[in-house]
Chain A
Amino acid sequence: MKRFLVLAPLAACLSVPDGPAPECKVTSDCDTANGEVCDEGICYGNPPPGPFAALVSPPSERKNDVVSREVELLAIPADGYLGDVALDAPVTYTGQIRAFCPAPSDCTDISLGATITVTRPSIFQGGPTYRQVVTTEPRTGLFQLVVPRTRDIDQPYTITVIPEGRGDEPDMGITPAQLVPPLRTELRIADNETGKTLDLGGITLTTIDGKVTNSAGVGQGSYRVVALGRWDETSPVTEVSTVVYTGNDGQFALRLSAGLQGSVEIVAKPYGDPLQPTLHANVSSGGVSGKSLVAPANLGQPTTVDIKVKGTATGGEIKAVNGARVTVAGIVPGAAPGSTVATFVTEVTTGEDGIASVTMLNGTAIKSSYRVSIIPPANSTLGILFDSPLVLGEDPDRTLPERIALVGRVIDVDGKPLNDVQVTVRPSLRFQWSLDTLPQAFVSAIPAATTVTPDTGEFVVYVDPFLKDGSEDVWGYYDLSFEPTATSNAPTFTEFDVEIPRDTNQSSVPLADIYLPDAAHIHGRITDPFGNVVEGAELKVFRIEDFASLTLCSDVPHAPASCPIPAQLLGRGASDDVGIVRLTLPRP
Chain B
Amino acid sequence: MIPPSLSVDNQDAGVNSPPAILAVRSDDQELPEPGPVLFEVGRGMLNAELIDTDLQDTLFVRVFVDYTIDKATAPRVLCTASPTGNAQRTVTCSLNALCLRPDDIGQTRLMSIKVFDREPLESGDPAFQAMPEGGLSTGKFFQLQCQDLPQ
Contacts and interface: CB of A to CB of B under 8 A. Distances in A.
B92 A483 contact: yes
Given A9-B3, A564-B149, A485 B38 contact: no
Interface stretch (B28-36, B109-117, B131-139): B28-36
Nearest to A133: B36
A486 B3 CA distance: 34
A230 B151 CA distance: 10
B84 A486 contact: yes
Contact of B106 (A238, A426, A441, A569): A238
A379 interface: yes
A572 B91 CA distance: 11
A192 B147 CA distance: 29
A487 B88 CA distance: 11
Contacts, number: 206
Nearest to B29: A57
Interface residues of B, number: 72
B145 A115 contact: yes
Contacts of B37: 133
Given A379-B78, A426-B94, A485 B151 contact: no
B53 interface: no
Nearest to A352: B123
B83 interface: yes
Contact of A560 (B106, B123, B128, B149): B149
Contacts of B123: 322, 352
A378 B74 contact: yes
Nearest to B27: A128
A574 B49 contact: yes
Nearest to B104: A445
A378 B78 contact: yes
Interface of B: 1, 3-9, 23, 25, 27-33, 35-38, 40-43, 45, 47, 49, 55, 58, 71-86, 89-94, 96-97, 100-103, 105-108, 122-123, 127-128, 145, 147-151
11 contacts: A15-B6, A58-B30, A131-B29, A166-B107, A238-B105, A349-B72, A378-B97, A420-B82, A424-B79, A485-B83, A487-B84
Interface of A: 5-6, 9-10, 13-19, 55, 57-60, 63, 68, 115, 117, 128-131, 133, 135, 162, 166, 230, 233-239, 322-325, 347, 349, 351-352, 377-379, 419-420, 422, 424, 426-427, 432, 441, 444-448, 450-452, 481, 483, 485-487, 492, 536, 538, 540, 560-562, 564, 566, 569, 572, 574
